[in-house]
Structure 1
Amino acid sequence: MILKNAKIVDDSFRFADADVAVEEDKISEIAPGLAGGEEIDLSGCVLVPGFVDIHIHACVGADTCDADADGLAKMCAHLVTKGVTSFCPTTMTVSHKGILRALETVKSCMDHPPKGAAIAGVNMEGPYISIHKKGAQKGEFVKNSDFKEFQEFYDTCGGIIKLVDIAPECPGAEEFIPQASRLCTVSIAHTEADYACAKHAFELGITHATHLYNAMPGMKHREPGVIGAVLDDPRVRAELICDGFHIHPAVLRITFEALGKDRVVIVSDSMRAAGAPDGVSELGGQTVYVKDGQARLKDGTIAGSTTNLHQEIKNLVGWGVPFLTAIQAATLNPARAIHEDERIGSIKVGKYADMVALDSDLNIRMVVARGKIAVNNNA
């Protein structure tokens, strides 16, 4: 299969005039004027890498913590229609047994992949967070970090955990961070840490920040806190939820500018109401009320999102973030964050053939996932 006549976003995240040849599930050649076999005309489109969502709990009624293979298959099928070709099902702060069941189910689905978006591994958001910044996480299951327990999770599921969250001010973090960071990416999250504590945690091995600005103290001119520490440290990437509800568009523009093109990771942090109408839903065992696409607990606490990466890219471009910057933040940067960038995240020979064709209005015309056409709106 040859994808022809599109302007491509190359592996340096610049525009290039070239065709892309696909053999089986990989990109085999990138060059102008390719010919032979099945040729697909994508004139007027921009071909970008498939989107990579590394923080997503749920969508279309299915949740990672349901520990249900059919539900995960439903997520895979829905996400690919939104241009997401790889994702990390994300657990909540639930019971030890609940996390274990979710991990085992995800591992089973990775061994026997459903159709649609590929599962790249698991993101563990909790339980090692601050009770004071738990957000929509269930308080009864919040606990101090425990590397022995985490090692059990990691080993039992065959090492599929790609990212784990921690509040570094809580007991156990000093021991947990350097050990866990040898196994996966460790992220600062749901935390009351001040600037000094956050910087020390980065020295210990934290390289990621979960949904920056949310579930952490705000940045003040004499108390920069976690946000200031992240902006100030080039070793750390930061997630941003770009729905315009979690973070004001002006703050998003400022943050993209401050972090630069290599350190921003767009995530959905979506819950099971994503892809469904407004109404009553659920997250981590708690009732969620969705109105105008905004998900909240009864007390008004924000409870994840109902967005997706495609919509967030359109939002960002509309708010003034450069197109190529937004695309890199939804593709290569998250792939790097979970150490999967040798396989996914950019259009490059030898990588998986995961690509999205966008028209001039940024609507999806085609999605290629692992070398197969998963969505075709190009007729």
Structure 2
Amino acid sequence: MLTALYNTQIVSNGNITGGKAVIIQGDQILAIVDPANIPADVIHVDLNGAYLAPGLIDLQIYGAGSLYFGGVPSVEALQQMEQGLLQQGCTGFFATVATNSNEVVLQAINAARAYRPTAIGNFLGLHLEGPYINALRKGAHPEKYIKKATLAEVQSWIELAGGEVKMMTLAPELQDEEVISYLHNQGIILSSGHSNATYTQAKAFLNNPIQAATHLYNAMPPLHHRKPGIIAAIFEDKPYASIIADGLHVDYAMIRLAKHELGDKLFLISDAVTETTEGTYLHKRQGDKYVMPDGTLSGSALTMLTAVKNCVNHVNISLPEAVNMASLYPAQLASLKTKGKVEAGYDADLIIFDTEFNPAFTIYKGKTRYNNKHQL
């Protein structure tokens, strides 16, 4: 049975399009048509003028709900993340583990493998943020767990993961070439983060083969007129770069600058955590942010849709482009070729939201998964 979503504003690929209907067949978008051309014998769904956009994709999030996967990894935490993020319109995410003990990293890998057979599917894999970072730019990461990678350890983790490790944030200037080459050859997205690389060092590894930069501006040397550092190299070489658009981790004026310099390579992450009293990271919520016990800024309290809203309201980025930053561009970095657009042949993973950025419901694999206001 086909489903037709109509009376909507389609936000996709840099445009807002009205007066069209989205036809869903199974788990894919079959066609975008004029309402007069909706096939007979389909389920008609009136969206009452709401926005319809591709499902949002978060490549760096540590937890959602009451369980903090990033510090105490478990099957239950992944299950809670999948369900909670679908409710927010996030139809794809990398569950992230920050610098921690080997025991916690292995716990995360084992949880991902154990959960995979019963996963809904919006859990796309793991992002290991550390422990192979630069202690000079550790941020909230505990120095006692920071170390240089060894090929033997990296191989053991990747082989055990069986494809579940999709992305790694590390400080490339400190790693041996054999480690970088091995990870790149395994198809893992490599991102420079918590790095103290100089401009010259960064120019040598960005896009060769480091594909991305993690949470731009945070945990890296600031831009300086006599020491341009990694930020200048990022602006010149334009790898993909993630950014936390909460106005706290990065001032909105600096997001505007980054957008001007990086264009379609700048993408949004939530970097979201949950409050916890267990494990290495004892995040405590303070207003719209989380801090460590010593007051160090840690993760955000963002949802991806709120990050989109902030880009529109505070950075003067258009709604279609802000949606691209939260869907199409992360999909492109992660080689998710049928995600990030509302077009024929793309996955029927969709978020429907109103003009105040309140999510109405989420369609995942062609079916309504979480519903706040409407019924299909």
- What TM-score, normalized to structure 1? 0.91
Unmatched runs of 5 consecutive residues or more in structure 2? none
1:258 match: 261
Say whether residues 1:81 and 2:87 are aligned partners.
Answer: yes
Say whether residues 1:95 and 2:96 are aligned partners.
Answer: no
User: Which amino acid is 1:255 matched to?
Assistant: A
Which of 350, 353, 357 aligns to 2:352? It is: 357
Question: 2-side partners of 1:152 and 1:5: how far apart?
Answer: 52
1:139 match: 143
Question: 1-side partners of 2:269 and 2:355: how far apart?
Answer: 23
Question: 2-side partners of 1:146 and 1:23: how far apart?
Answer: 47
Question: 2-side partners of 1:294 and 1:27: how far apart?
Answer: 37
Say whether residues 1:109 and 2:115 are aligned partners.
Answer: yes
Within a 5 Å distance, the mapping from 1:310-321 to structure 2 comes to 310-319=305-314, 320-321=316-317
Which of 4, 25, 28 aligns to 1:26? It is: 28
User: In the superposition, relative to structure 1, how do residues 306 and 360 fare at CA in structure 2: closer, same or farther (>3 Å)?
Assistant: closer
1:368 match: 363
Question: 1-side partners of 2:105 and 2:370: how far apart?
Answer: 32
1:240 match: 243
Say whether residues 1:334 and 2:356 are aligned partners.
Answer: no
User: In the superposition, relative to structure 1, how do residues 94 and 120 fare at CA in structure 2: closer, same or farther (>3 Å)?
Assistant: same
Which of 321, 325, 328 aligns to 1:325? It is: 321
Say whether residues 1:152 and 2:153 are aligned partners.
Answer: no
Question: 2-side partners of 1:283 and 1:330: how far apart?
Answer: 30
Question: 1-side partners of 2:58 and 2:293: how far apart?
Answer: 27
Percent identical across equivalent pairs? Answer: 29
1:278 match: none
SS in 1 for 2:227: coil
- Is contact 1:87–1:119 with CA below 8 Å preserved after alignment? yes
User: Which amino acid is 1:233 matched to?
Assistant: D
Question: Greater CA deviation, 329-338 or 355-364?
Answer: 355-364
User: In the superposition, relative to structure 1, how do residues 159 and 71 fare at CA in structure 2: closer, same or farther (>3 Å)?
Assistant: same
SS in 2 for 1:121: strand
Cα distance, 1:110 vs. partner? Answer: 2.5
Question: 2-side partners of 1:284 and 1:169: how far apart?
Answer: 29
1:45 match: 50
Unmatched runs of 5 consecutive residues or more in structure 1? 274-280
Per-residue deviation, residues 164-220 of structure 1 (Å, max 9, x unmatched): 1111221x3433223212221100010111111111112530010000100111001
1:7 match: 9
2:182 match: 179
Question: Greater CA deviation, 262-271 or 64-73?
Answer: 64-73
Question: 2-side partners of 1:241 and 1:23: how far apart?
Answer: 35
Cα distance, 1:249 vs. partner? Answer: 1.0
Cα distance, 1:351 vs. partner? Answer: 2.4
Question: 2-side partners of 1:134 and 1:378: how far apart?
Answer: 44
**Corresponding pairs, count:** 365
- Is contact 1:51–1:331 with CA below 8 Å preserved after alignment? yes
2:297 match: 302
Within a 5 Å distance, the mapping from 1:153-168 to structure 2 comes to 153-168=157-172
User: In the superposition, relative to structure 1, how do residues 349 and 282 fare at CA in structure 2: closer, same or farther (>3 Å)?
Assistant: farther
After the TM superposition, list the runs of 4 or more consecutive aligned residues in structure 1 that deviate by more than 4 angstroms: none
Question: 1-side partners of 2:338 and 2:287: how far apart?
Answer: 37
- What TM-score, normalized to structure 2? 0.92
Which of 48, 62, 67 aligns to 1:57? It is: 62
Question: 2-side partners of 1:249 and 1:348: how far apart?
Answer: 31
Question: 1-side partners of 2:178 and 2:226: how far apart?
Answer: 29
Cα distance, 1:284 vs. partner? Answer: 5.5
Cα distance, 1:248 vs. partner? Answer: 0.6
Question: 1-side partners of 2:244 and 2:356: how far apart?
Answer: 22
User: Which amino acid is 2:246 matched to?
Assistant: D
User: Which amino acid is 1:180 matched to?
Assistant: L
Question: Greater CA deviation, 214-223 or 289-298?
Answer: 289-298
Question: 2-side partners of 1:228 and 1:289: how far apart?
Answer: 33
Which of 193, 200, 203 aligns to 1:199? It is: 203
Question: 1-side partners of 2:137 and 2:330: how far apart?
Answer: 24
Cα distance, 1:293 vs. partner? Answer: 2.3
Question: 1-side partners of 2:331 and 2:45: how far apart?
Answer: 27
- Is contact 1:177–1:204 with CA below 8 Å preserved after alignment? no
User: Which amino acid is 2:29 matched to?
Assistant: I
1:214 match: 218
- Is contact 2:306–2:357 with CA below 8 Å preserved after alignment? no
1:378 match: 374
Cα distance, 1:57 vs. partner? Answer: 0.8
SS in 1 for 2:272: coil
